[in-house]
Amino acid sequence: MSSRAAKRRQSRAQAESTPLLPYQVDWIEDRAPRKISEKSRRVGITYVEAYDAFSARITGTAKHDYWITTADGHAALEFIEECQGWNRLYSYAAQRDDFVERDPETGAEFTNWCIRFPSGAKIGALTSNPRRLRSKGGDGAADEFAHHDDQENLHAALTPVSRWVGQTKIISSHNGETSVFNSIVQKMRDVYAELGALDDRGRPRRVDWATLSATAKRMNVSPVYSYHRVTLQDAIDQGLVERINEINGANQSREDYYDECKSSCLDDEEFLQEYMCVPGVGLDALLPWALIEACEDKGVPNPDEPLTGYKGGYCAIGIDVGRTKDLTVVWVLEPIGDVLWTRQVMVMHNTPMPEQEARIKQLLSSIRWSTVLIDKGHVGFALCDYLQRNVGGDIQGIDFTVQSKKVLATGLKHCFEDRAIRIPHNNKEVRDDLHSVRKVVTASGNVTYVAKRDKNGHADRFWGAALAVNAATAVAGSDVYTCNGVDLWEALR
């Protein structure tokens, strides 16, 4: 036996004795042409991917190249350093050999971080520009796929890399519900569910490629990937904490580690997305938390504080109308300079229409106001008609259409981005409602705005605020309430 063959056998024996966790072994042993891992942060999938790429080339199992694209240069370099760690562990003759290429479109130079093997095969790590994969062949992998800037073009560039030989591998935590990554994951979950291959915790079991492909084809689902899923809880159940304790010399319990990960997050939404494979709506929300919190002010009264007899300036009012399932929200704004100050957020739930009419009429008769913009669709028509006949003044009714909702939502977002509005401080119902609306672009390119309906309504405070902001343009007479040169108020008329 040659010395090289002996070294490969010795390295293979060392590799096989490396203590990997069950979900890591499952990832390595899956030889499907395409596979995808929906994972928690920091559970060692990228780490074991580096081991798999390296061990396959020191043993001669893979004689072709391996290319991985990462979300940034630091991550690419870290992956190569992981491979170098395995190289040092097994004292193999692979060599670090970074090289420079030119972007095929721009001509700009970029670095390929690379390890070369005596067989001629190499492991290369690239940053996220999809064009940099287009001249490559062999195994193709994308790490933290959902966090790449251009997932559609990245996927288009990635899959042909392994067309002749090798595997396509996608590894990622989540980055919102509308990511390309989540779209692939949800398609594959549908296929696995059809096969009865998801357990009661939503974990997939291994399905042979022929069966998976045939079922996906019958369901008209593409692309097809062998699907893996590892939440923080899954990893803990399979020994992650004990492995960390071995490495760090610690003695942390499973419960303490879980609680530490959770307590390090800003809120439950962040924890679920980063650690529990639940795509968050926050990154897709029209009004992110940071915008909302930046416009909170302790000087704003709490919602539903009586406004009767208020002696301030003229106010603008938005009314989103509900009856049983949804709330009626009356949002009152007073323009002061170029800022809209919230003076009241009146909320009515399951309130008979005569009582709604009386409460709103009393409000309008007791303060100075200039314009009311009211949702006149469905149950709102009767309320709009009543106020116009019995109160008078500039009371405008609008229907909620795709176009009007776009104008209203855009106006509200523009107002928050410019910090041209002040809202109640630290009020959970207001915060959650404003944060609940997501902008969704359909496959046909149309834009719609959606929100979940729950016990707190159906984004009714959001739409009440949006109506009030757009009503305020008639009061403020300011170009603050324009977007891309379009006067939002005029667009609604």
DSSP 218-275: HTT--S--EEEEE-HHHHHHTTHHHHHHHHHT----HHHHHHHHHHTSSSHHHHHHHH
pLDDT at 481: 39
What are the residue ranges of CATH 3.40.50.300 in the chain?
A: 3-237
Residues with Cβ within 8 Å of 289's Cβ and at least 6 positions away in sequence, in order, are 266, 282, 431, 435
Q: Which of 369, 384, 392, 388 minimizes the C-alpha distance to 312?
A: 369
User: What angle (nearest 5°) sits at the alpha carbon of residue 240, between those of residues 235 and 245?
Assistant: 160
Residue 263 structure tokens? 């307590």
Can you give the pLDDT at residue 491? 45
Q: Which residues of the chain fall short of a pLDDT of 70?
A: 1-18, 91, 281-284, 441-446, 454-456, 474-493
CA dihedral 420, 423, 428, 430 (to 10 degrees): -80
Residue 66 pairs in a beta bridge with: 123, 139
Confirm whether pTM is higher than 0.75.
no
Q: Where in the chain is the domain with CATH 3.30.420.240?
A: 289-492
What pLDDT sits at residue 138? 97
Fold of the domain spanning 3-237: Rossmann fold (3.40.50)
- Take residue 423 and report the two structure tokens written for it: 């809202």
pLDDT at 2: 45
Contacts for 68 with CB less than 8 Å, ≥ 6 apart:
49, 53, 76, 79, 123, 124, 125, 126, 140, 141, 142, 143
**Which pLDDT value is given to residue 474?**
52
**Per-residue model confidence (pLDDT) at position 301:** 87
Residue located via tokens 């019995």? 390
132-188 pLDDT per residue, tens? 899 899 999 999 999 887 889 999 999 999 999 999 999 999 988 778 999 999 999
Question: Tell me: the pLDDT tens digits for 328-353?
Answer: 999 999 999 989 999 999 999 889 99
**CATH level 3 topology of 289-492:** Nucleotidyltransferase; domain 5 (3.30.420)
Residue in the structure block whose two tokens are 């079922």 = 215
